[in-house]
Chains A and B, each alone.
Chain A
């Protein structure tokens, strides 16, 4: 009976999964007349390779450190040291990821073979770490608000749920106009609220606000979905428990702490896992709103997987990113599962 269903799952889910793992060890291209070759871990080392080097400040003829107008030591450009230099063959093709100065004497530079992927990794983790708790909390708040017997409450439920029903591509396009640097709705609103003091900001064009802007928009878009899950959890809690709490004279806070929250335990675990996985899959917003820019401030893992595999015709590179993402999500799910296990 289950055979057709299982067959479909095998063809469309299990097979591609193993394909991705196998392809990540090859140099498979999207378009190529050349035969595919096994290249071992090269794709992984290309993505994950990092190196560290220390450079000295420039000195004048007397050996004094040359300082700029502000008194900070001047360092030579990294490219003049490592580019095409056989002494630094192990760092060839690497780029500065970040750096710091321990003292006036030296600057330590961390290089990565694929800085864009590293930034995508950091951005995605940041996105998950911020979006998961904020979205879950907001959704719970909304669920508590609409879990009341009031006339017209379904109207509010519908309003909160509306963004979930609209396609994420449409929502992203709309928010692109909202965030517009010149005449965007957000800028106009802030300007009106502050009586013209706020002069407008290019939210998606500024590397320091682009990811934050996408986080806000993503939280707003999906919060209704999680609200409904919380709501279903809330409605499974027996009313008799609330009656008992009321008779005992429990305050609202106490009722929430000792009746509602314990009753939502399983829902909470579910929501945390769902949000985490959805957040890791961040793609459509990036594709529509920023293309990973400005200056890689909104690169994400899935966007990079698609960009490599399809845009740059490097199927093996895209597969490798997918495998790494799988391992990452698996690890985090296992940790979540361990932390939220039933303690008996």
Chain B
């Protein structure tokens, strides 16, 4: 630590004596490997650098798979950049651990932003997203007609019973290998992101959001048990392939016509649209406590060790302009964070094919539990879902998950 402050003061000394002192700001981004994404973010950086003379931002990109590990390693070594991006549900963990500091951005700037793009923890804004992501029940109008099903709308989504009946109808038709692709091959954050909204629609949750101190009664209460039984039933009835699903299914299963429905994100939407003209993106079914889908994607924040938080925040605020939000959306198909930006985009403007995702995100988007303990709870929940899908006893599995989450919270002094 001493050497860091020492070298920092040397840098400060040197830059103080230099003639044209532009403060360097470092920035890390998780999207290495995607050419379009790199072009957009590099464009924003050079625009910002040209727009003022106080700061120079330099960008370093990491592959997504190695990004979180790199940040953790950098934090332990005291080498965090000034600006970094963070996956929405992970942000509270990093804020709690002292990796990040609150943004110095006037909240009026983000008044119009989708709720899932605002990263609040302890009532302070730590991160902002340029985009959100949403999940929809993907199918085709011709499939609904064939199975004789009503087309659900945002105002009048399917009930749980209607959803189950639709799966049964698809199975009975015999035209599909499985009724629905849930993406079970995609182990990891997909499970809590895509499936915990079902649990919440049943009335349960991963953790008690009143206190964030326990999962008892929430993850193993009657509502959660009902969810668990329903979840297990999907696989017992043969509606969906289980955890050993072929990963290739995720990309081509629906477009090959092997599934009647697919529970997938907007990032897969473009391929489906190209394959079928009558593709539909339907809202999540309502299991009793409202239809819900996951919210929050990657967001931008300022590291706790940054010596120039005002400069880092200035960069983020600069990047929040509609034209950049629209550029990300057009480039890689993400949901732009504001309605005005959405109007500028190819896919999300009024009447455009994916505009429904913007409405879904605004209407049904539900944040994953906003607590530092989420990172561990999500892992526990993921395992519980996999075990139940594979036939484990529902009550015992959820009890065990509750015990594990509660133990973790206690061992972290309540994450306070």
Contacts and interface: CB of A to CB of B under 8 A. Distances in A.
The main secondary structure of chain B at its interface with chain A is helix
A29 to B, nearest CB: 7
Contact of A311 (B72, B93, B379, B400): B379
A181 B412 contact: no
B273 interface: no
A205 B243 contact: yes
Nearest to A27: B411
A83 interface: yes
B187 A33 contact: no
Given A93-B407, A312-B379, A296 B246 contact: no
B336 to A, nearest CB: 32
Interface in A68-89: 77-79, 83
A180 B376 CA distance: 30
Interface in A283-340: 290-291, 293-296, 307, 311-314
Contact of A32 (B379, B392, B400, B412): B412
A77 B413 contact: no
Interface in A40-88: 77-79, 83
A93 B403 contact: yes
Contact of A312 (B376, B400, B413): B376
A232 interface: no
A170 to B, nearest CB: 14
A181 B244 contact: yes
A294 B375 CA distance: 22
Contacts of B392: 295
A207 B390 contact: yes
A296 B384 CA distance: 11
Interface in B375-399: 375-376, 379-380, 386-387, 390-392, 395-396, 399
Nearest to B386: A293
Contact of A293 (B97, B387, B399, B412): B387
Contact-size category for B: 35 or more
A259 B272 CA distance: 68
B244 A77 contact: no
B96 interface: yes
Interface residues of A, number: 36
B242 interface: yes
Of A29, A31, A291, A293, the most chain B CB neighbours within 10 A belong to A31
A95 B187 CA distance: 25
Given A33-B97, A115-B400, A182-B246, A312 B408 contact: yes
Contact of B375 (A96, A204, A313): A313
A34 interface: yes
Given A29-B412, A205-B242, A77 B390 contact: no
B243 A294 contact: yes
A34 B391 contact: no
A30 interface: yes
A78 B399 CA distance: 11
A181 B177 CA distance: 13
Contacts of A183: 246
A204 B97 contact: no
B98 interface: yes
A30 B72 contact: yes
Contacts of B97: 31-33
Given A205-B244, A293-B243, A31 B93 contact: yes
A291 B244 contact: no
Contact of B413 (A34, A205, A291, A314): A34
Contacts of B75: 31
Given A33-B97, A77-B395, A180-B246, A295 B376 contact: no
A205 B244 CA distance: 5
B244 A294 contact: yes
Interface string B177-194: 100000000010000000
Interface string A190-207: 000000000000101101
B192 to A, nearest CB: 13
Contacts of B375: 313
8 A-B pairs with least C-beta separation: A205-B244, A294-B390, A31-B97, A204-B244, A295-B390, A33-B98, A312-B376, A93-B403
6 contacts: A29-B411, A176-B247, A177-B246, A307-B379, A312-B408, A314-B408
Interface of A: 27, 29-34, 77-79, 83, 93, 95-96, 115, 176-177, 180-183, 202, 204-205, 207, 290-291, 293-296, 307, 311-314
Given A207-B390, A293-B386, A293-B387, 19 more contacts: A29-B411, A32-B97, A33-B97, A79-B399, A93-B407, A95-B396, A180-B244, A180-B246, A182-B241, A182-B246, A202-B244, A205-B244, A207-B391, A291-B187, A291-B243, A294-B244, A295-B387, A295-B390, A295-B391
